[in-house]
Structure 1
Amino acid sequence: MALKATIYKADLNIANMDVHQYGDYQLTMALHPSETIERLMVRILAFARYADEALEFTKDLFETDEPALWEKDLTGQLIKWIEVGCPDEDKVKKASSRCKQVAIIAYGSSVDEWYKRNSKIKTLNNVEVWQLSPASTEAIQALCERTMQLQLNVMDGEWTLIGDQAQAQIEWTQLQ
């Protein structure tokens, strides 16, 4: 019998004083049986970085030709393509030709090596790459619950994600 996805829900309140973005989002995510809690929480941070009512989680690991998140316009045309992890270079190149904006939220110990190895990504003008520090991804795992109440505060470039039991400082590095 195949393992089924586990559903997680997060009420995310964002107060980004740097760009004057404020909002409440009710997120529902499926945790694929092969996915880690770390990756699930990184998907929440990816949502928070590009938060928009039209931004949605995809089937991602269930469908290999989909990103972690995407945004479509009213006609169904892709606008944003957001990958989590260290995606295949060809997948990113294909997404770049289909969308106005492509973003990669990279994390883990192999990010530097992955970025050096995938030189074609550096030539794509509509692709941005963000790296999360290992300390950040370690800290956000403590915030994970099946039903989460999360508050994200952003001020002067400093991100703080607050949960019921703990909080995490989020450190981003823009690689591209």
Structure 2
Amino acid sequence: MALTSTMYTMNVSLAHVDRGVYEQLEFRMAMHPSESPEYFVTRLLAYCLEYREGIGFSKGVSDPDDPTVSVRDLTGTITTWIEIGLPDAARLHKASKAAPRVVVYTHKDPTVWLRQIAGERIHKVDQIECYVFERELTDAIVEQLDRRLSFELSVTDGELFLNLAGTTLTGTLQRTALGG
């Protein structure tokens, strides 16, 4: 018998000072049985940091052609393709041909991955944005992960401040270059 996804209800008070985005977000997120809690938290944070009109999660891991998170315009065209983790070069190549903006968020050390994709053919590799969360931050959020989660997230100068269950967690968001 196949395992089913676990549904999470999120309430996020977002103050992304760097982008001028101040929103109260209420949404549901599914955690697939094959998804690690760290990946799930990275996907949650990426959604919050990229929040804008038209953002949405993919239909699920069963559809490999869709980005993990995307922003679509009113016609349904993908304007931002967002990947989580360390996607392979072929996926990044496909993404950069399909969308004008491609962003990768990861909770893992990208050192080996960057060496692996360095010689690969990736369309507009120098325009792909890659951000690395501090592992301590994602691990601390995982420890407090609950099916009903409410938190405040502020972002200032690349520094994240997350107030979760009366505890303030902080961490940086490090940008890493893929090309050159």
* TM-score where L is the length of structure 2: 0.89
Q: The residue matched to 2:70 in structure 1 has which SS?
A: strand
Amino acid at match of 1:73: D
C-alpha separation between the residues in 1 aligned to 2:143 and 2:135? 14
Q: The residue matched to 1:118 in structure 2 has which SS?
A: helix
Residue 95 and residue 47 in structure 1: after superposition, are their counterparts in 2 closer, same or farther (change >3 A)?
A: same
Deviates more, 1:121-130 or 1:2-11: 121-130
Deviates more, 1:161-170 or 1:91-100: 161-170
Residue of structure 1 in register with 2:172 after alignment: 171
Deviates more, 1:142-151 or 1:77-86: 142-151
**Deviations, residues 55-82 of structure 1 (Å, cap 9, x unaligned):** 0011342222222201111111111110
2:108 equivalent to 1:105: no
1:143–1:167 Cα contact (<8 Å) kept: no
1:13–1:24 Cα contact (<8 Å) kept: yes
Amino acid at match of 1:76: G
Unaligned 5+ segments in structure 2 are none
Residue of structure 2 in register with 1:86 after alignment: 86
C-alpha separation between the residues in 1 aligned to 2:22 and 2:146? 23
C-alpha separation between the residues in 1 aligned to 2:88 and 2:28? 26
C-alpha separation between the residues in 2 aligned to 1:153 and 1:58? 25
Q: Post-superposition, which runs of at least 4 consecutive aligned residues in structure 1 deviate over 3 A?
A: 120-123
Identity of aligned residues (%): 29
Q: The residue matched to 2:174 in structure 1 has which SS?
A: strand
2:93–2:123 Cα contact (<8 Å) kept: no
Residue 124 and residue 62 in structure 1: after superposition, are their counterparts in 2 closer, same or farther (change >3 A)?
A: same
Deviates more, 1:160-169 or 1:73-82: 160-169
1:98 Cα shift?
0.8
**Deviations, residues 103-126 of structure 1 (Å, cap 9, x unaligned):** 0002224x2100111014595243
2:23 equivalent to 1:23: yes
Residue of structure 1 in register with 2:53 after alignment: 53
C-alpha separation between the residues in 2 aligned to 1:157 and 1:7? 29
Q: The residue matched to 1:43 in structure 2 has which SS?
A: helix
1:132 Cα shift?
1.4
Q: The residue matched to 1:145 in structure 2 has which SS?
A: coil
1:139–1:169 Cα contact (<8 Å) kept: no
Provide the alpha-carbon RMSD of the alignment: 1.7
Within-5 A mapping of 1:59-138: 59-109=59-109, 111-119=110-118, 120=120, 121=122, 123-138=124-139
2:15 equivalent to 1:6: no
Unaligned 5+ segments in structure 1 are none
Residue 71 and residue 162 in structure 1: after superposition, are their counterparts in 2 closer, same or farther (change >3 A)?
A: same
Q: The residue matched to 2:4 in structure 1 has which SS?
A: coil
C-alpha separation between the residues in 1 aligned to 2:34 and 2:28? 18
C-alpha separation between the residues in 2 aligned to 1:138 and 1:107? 9
Amino acid at match of 2:117: N
Amino acid at match of 2:131: W
